[in-house]
Structure 1
Amino acid sequence: MGLLIGDIDENRVCHILAVIVLQRSDKQVDRVEISPEQLSAASSQAENLAHQLQRPMRVVGWYHSHPHITVWPSHVDVQTQAMYQMLDEGFVGLIYSVFNEKKQTRENRIQLTCFQSINQSPEGEPPQYMRLEVPLYIVPKDHISRPCLDSLVDLPRIISEEEEEAYTKTTQIPNMDLVAKIQNGSVYSKALCHFMDVLTGPMMQSLENRLAYNNERQSQLELEKQQLLKLVEERGHKSDLKSTSV
């Protein structure tokens, strides 16, 4: 889960340029909560990004994942989105459906939706919010921006801190027997090993592959540069010969 950073232009098009990954304050499977402190800190971070990128930047939305289930927002998601739109009518929500396999083919698919909330109740009656799907366009890039790279690298730390916080709470339980302490320590160690296996390891491999690609691309560009410089030198030499003959 996290917040989306960008800006909204005069045509009410929301441009998402960076994300801020947040530590979950509530780990219930049916809800995502962002504390006021996290929202305030994200606003400050957006101001810093605006200074770095020399363009307007602010918190324009939020995102979270739906592991193993449909991409569509739950009634809690719709209510949460409606609350944010009371503060900013341009606020949007993104949901990623991940680890959601097709039963027939066992194909793992990733789905994405962008939505807002709309009140369907007549005026004067209690609000009944529904999902309003927002068109979403992904603009291809040949590189990862520094803000997005920083968020990606920060993800293992945030997840590890979540597990550490949960484990620390168990150590503060009075009169816990030795077997329970060993069990809690084992669960904590297993969780950290699991994150290294499914998150940190693949992320490091991906970054190493990108580094290798960038190095190869740099070598190609250096070769093209030398060829162009040689071509310019040859044409300059021919021009000098023509001037001398005249």
Structure 2
Amino acid sequence: MCVSQVRLAGDAYLVCVHHALTTEKEEVMGLLVGQFNEQGSDIMCDIHSAVTLRRSDKRKDRVEISPEMLIEAQQRAEQMSASSGKELHVVGWYHSHPHITVWPSDIDLQTQAGYQQMDSRFIGLIFSVYNEDKKTKVGTHQVTCFQATNQSPEGESPQYVRLSVPLDIQSIPSIAVNNQQALENLCRTLYDEQSEVLEVSRQRASQFPLAHLHNAAVMVRSVCGLSSLVSGPLVATVEERLSHLHTTTMILKQEAQYLKARLKEKNIT
């Protein structure tokens, strides 16, 4: 069953982009929580939240998460359902393509096809980041939404191709609690990934003490990098939003005073 259109909440989009920009050397991955709405033959997918997860395999050209992480994501979706009163599920996944095209690779299509075996409506998002416009020299990023379909005849080895799905990013007045928490937990997610790698090194420290010392130093550098890549921009975003709210409040107060003055002029109580 092909999805007709995907509507992505602006704050969920913010989480995905923020996550994608945390590293330009490896791909990152997360899951998308929302609901499917069937209107006749059309299937609409509304994505409300993004869930950042620890990666079980980190490479330049691929990324994987463990079954345990999938279960954790579904549990989060159930918690969101209970708090929002909406029936929410894991409806898709997202991952990044640093320095390369936004289009899915053969591995991406195989991964997508595997998810669609569990739910034929499952969708995928790819965020291409750390690219530069050759003319303007300005950094750019792109996003695409897709599904996979097998174009091989029955009985032959599958050969998957991309099905493009229209994507509409919805503007939102404020960041929902779930996506705010996802942004706040992003540092913890990345820190836990680094800690798992260091723990493997620690177990072999007696055999390779210099290697472990090097890995510990890399861990310290990575943690410092997280502060500049994640915490710094997040604080700046919050401060900018706070400034905007203060300005809006001041304008509304001035408008209220003006309206009160006009009422007094007309002797309306």
Instruction: State if a TM-score over 0.5 links the two structures.
Output: yes
The equivalent of 2:162 in structure 1 is: 131
CA apart distance, 1:22: 0.5
Q: Which moved more, 1:215-224 or 1:62-71?
A: 215-224
More strand by share: 2
The residue aligned with 1:243 is none
User: What amino acid maps onto 1:162 in structure 2?
Assistant: E
Classify 1:106/1:176 alpha carbon distance in 2 versus 1 (closer, same or farther; 3 Å).
farther
| 1:60 match | 91
Query: Aligned equivalents of 2:263 and 2:80: distance in 1?
Result: 41
Instruction: Write the deviation string for residues 182-225 of structure 1: whole angstroms up to 9, x where unpaired.
Output: 32221111111122122221221111111221222233334434
Aligned mates of 2:68, 2:212 — CA distance in 1:
32
What's the offset of the Cα at 1:159?
Answer: 0.7
Secondary structure of the 1:143 match is: coil
Does residue 109 (structure 1) correspond to residue 135 (structure 2)? The answer is: no
Q: State the Cα distance separating 1:89 from its structure 2 match.
A: 1.0
SS at match of 2:167: coil
Is the CA contact (8 Å cut-off) linking 2:35 and 2:46 kept in structure 1? yes
Q: Deviations over 1:30-56 (max 9, x none)?
A: 222222222222112112212222222
Q: Do structure 1's residue 3 and structure 2's residue 31 form an aligned pair?
A: yes
Within the candidate set 95, 104, 117, 1:86 is matched to: 117
Change in CA separation of 1:238 and 1:18 when aligned onto 2, cut-off 3 Å: closer
Q: Say whether 1:30 aligns with 2:58.
A: no
1:157-236 aligned within 5 A: 157-228=188-259, 231=262
Which is bigger in relative contact order (C-alpha 8 A, separation at least 6)? 2
Within 2, Cα distance between the matches of 1:112 and 1:238?
A: 54
Render the CA deviation track for 1:3-46: whole Å, top value 9, x for unaligned: 10111111301011111111111112222222222222211211
Task: Tell me which residue corresponds to 2:74.
Answer: 43
Q: How does 1:147-162 map to 2 (within 5 A)?
A: 147-162=178-193
User: Residue 103 of structure 2: SS of its match in structure 1?
Assistant: coil
- Aligned partner of residue 170 in structure 2, secondary structure: coil
Q: Counterpart of 1:242?
A: none
SS of equivalent residue, structure 1 residue 72 = coil
| Secondary structure, counterpart of 1:13 in structure 2 | strand
Rounded to whole Å, the distance in 2 between the matches of 1:179 and 1:9 is 56
2:3 aligned residue = none
More deviation in 38-47 or 77-86? 38-47
Paired with 2:208 and 2:70, the residues of 1 have a C-alpha distance of: 39
TM-score (normalizing by structure 1): 0.89
Aligned to 2:22: none
Inter-partner Cα distance in structure 1 for 2:112 and 2:262 = 59
Supply the AA of the counterpart residue of 1:136.
Answer: L
In the other structure, the counterpart of 1:244 is none
Distance 1:195 1:226, change over 3 A: same
Q: Number of residue pairs matched?
A: 238
1:10 is paired with a residue whose SS is strand
Larger radius of gyration: 1
> 2: CA distance between counterparts of 1:186 and 1:34?
26
Deviations 1:75-128 (A, max 9, x none): 111001001111111110000000012345432110000000001011222221
- Higher mean C-alpha deviation, range 216-225 or range 166-175: 216-225
**Could you tell me which amino acid in structure 2 is paired with residue 191 of structure 1?**
S
CA-CA distance at 1:226 after TM superposition: 4.5
Equivalent position SS for 1:16: strand
Structure 2: which amino acid aligns with 1:99? Answer: Y
Q: Distance in 2 between matches of 1:72 and 1:25?
A: 23
Tell me the CA shift for residue 178 of structure 1: 4.3
